[in-house]
Structure 1
């Protein structure tokens, strides 16, 4: 954090000075996306700013508990002369708001930890070494405490921040979880983060439909050269197992966690002609490089991309061909 104090202070000065804000994040919401957005939204409310949380997508059911009384608007904001704060969004085109909201913003502030950040913002705090965007928001808020002498992180802010931290670190299993992540977790628990509620909702509340489709994916897992595992879900599978597209992302790590496998690939058909790829690696494959082949991005050990106008079979053939080059 010490290397970014100057940019954090620049962002804080701007947030204190300006009055109108919109907060958003990337398409296909996840724990870090929602946790960082809600924490920033509630922080701005606490310092008496006019702010709206805009996200034109569905919440995963496992994260609905975080919303509480927060008002989520879908591209129908009435705020004028606003600054858009894009959290956890490495690319301008993945910000989950209408194009008019993007174009009409006076300024865009980006807070993000993706290696593939495209540097689109007017003011940016991008640190690829942080575990999560939630950890970066935590850095901003603790710096606010230092500068303004106010204990700003309450339970309503601590809980979404802790959620984003545990989801992006795989409950502290992944290599991006370091000492600073554990210190942050301890701090948030002291501030009232509801750990038990988070764990129950995020990790212990899967539907029976989820386990049935998980069994289907595992039963049909493909091994390539004993180093690559590919799991597949078709749009028809979602209908057959009565589950939402956004509720199966947590299947992705199962593709990686097979003994001897270095790279896991999860292929999801959202609808005909729209296929999402998720990549996870263990030790040496750079998932960001693989995802870029398909116009995506992310982190070294976890990345993704969306492929349009191709069938699942066509996408799988292409991705396996490219993935072999990284093994």
Structure 2
């Protein structure tokens, strides 16, 4: 049974009443970010609305298969103002990856998200922290539209985009956020011609040799603290040496957690000097959101992130170890 039907119906009715939309999401795009964005973009475009997909960030190589050139816009491409913004998978207003001038002059902001730390920055919102992914919420919204208006809307493109976000946010159905509804959704998308093989090959089977070299280097330097906390570090120097883009190393993250006896995995990524990105993953009892919040971040209980600025990698490491020990 779909939760929050009133909120879903309000968003559907708003979309039907209005004509100009911009779809966007959070910085550092991932599968759920891009998958949900493209799905809602295709849905609204199919209704005959004026809609653009805008994201002021680079796309990971393994997700570019979802993108058509016509929908890859940046804020500089948007000359007018006053559209409705649909912000997907953005747990905080500050993480919405679009120019502030466009945000501030928006007619309305619609928030569709599943993060616990969502600030509820919108009058129109569909926030379900129990959902596996934002793609699951977009799927529910489109299914509700189909039910109300007795129309089949989910195309192969929409189905493939939604399937991408579902399997990336559930770790291909491994993570604790995987529910019965996740499998029901996957089965339905398969009947709608979601290209499962294309998704699997691009997400899990297309890493470059350079990626595996930096993976090997980072794993050789992995450390375990007090048998419960593991840390993997990728520095900017390592990225340059291996000629790997910063946006293409997120697949390393689970290795920090997937060690026997380890409860908390920390993946430290140096994006630039003084800018340290951190991914946190836990297995059973550590609430990653509490650690992330200590550094201005957020996310989910078992998967969160944050950015630490104006410190070195070693300083960030010490800060994270000290905070993490409070929760072990």
* 1:101 shift after superposition: 1.0
CA deviation map 1:69-120 (0-9, x unaligned): 5421110213432100000000000000011111111111000000110111
Query: In structure 2, what is the equivalent of residue 22 of structure 1?
Result: 22
Gaps of 5+ in 1: none
Q: Distance in 1 between matches of 2:224 and 2:42?
A: 45
- TM-score w.r.t. length of structure 1: 0.99
* 1:68 shift after superposition: 3.0
CA deviation map 1:162-200 (0-9, x unaligned): 000000000001111111100000100110100000000
Q: Distance in 1 between matches of 2:71 and 2:284?
A: 41
Q: Secondary structure at the match of 1:303?
A: strand
Query: In structure 1, what is the equivalent of residue 256 of structure 2?
Result: 255
Q: Distance in 1 between matches of 2:264 and 2:176?
A: 15
CA contact (8 A) 1:228 1:265 kept: yes
Once the two structures are superposed, the pairs formed by residues 183-222 of structure 1 within 5 Å of their partners are 183-222=184-223
Q: Distance in 2 between matches of 1:2 and 1:85?
A: 21
Would you identify which runs of 4 or more consecutive aligned residues in structure 1 move more than 3 Å? none
Once the two structures are superposed, the pairs formed by residues 133-144 of structure 1 within 5 Å of their partners are 133-144=134-145
CA contact (8 A) 1:20 1:79 kept: no
Aligned length, in residue pairs: 327
Gaps of 5+ in 2: none
Q: Distance in 2 between matches of 1:153 and 1:291?
A: 36
Query: In structure 2, what is the equivalent of residue 63 of structure 1?
Result: 63
* 1:309 shift after superposition: 0.8
Q: Distance in 2 between matches of 1:16 and 1:192?
A: 26
CA contact (8 A) 1:20 1:80 kept: no
CA contact (8 A) 2:215 2:252 kept: yes
Q: Distance in 1 between matches of 2:208 and 2:164?
A: 20
**What CA RMSD, in Å, does the superposition of the two structures yield over aligned residues?**
0.8
Q: Distance in 2 between matches of 1:210 and 1:88?
A: 27
* 1:8 shift after superposition: 0.2
Query: In structure 2, what is the equivalent of residue 9 of structure 1?
Result: 9
Q: Secondary structure at the match of 1:270?
A: strand
Query: In structure 1, what is the equivalent of residue 179 of structure 2?
Result: 178
Query: In structure 2, what is the equivalent of residue 116 of structure 1?
Result: 117
Q: Secondary structure at the match of 1:198?
A: helix
Query: In structure 1, what is the equivalent of residue 322 of structure 2?
Result: 321
Q: Distance in 2 between matches of 1:289 and 1:70?
A: 40
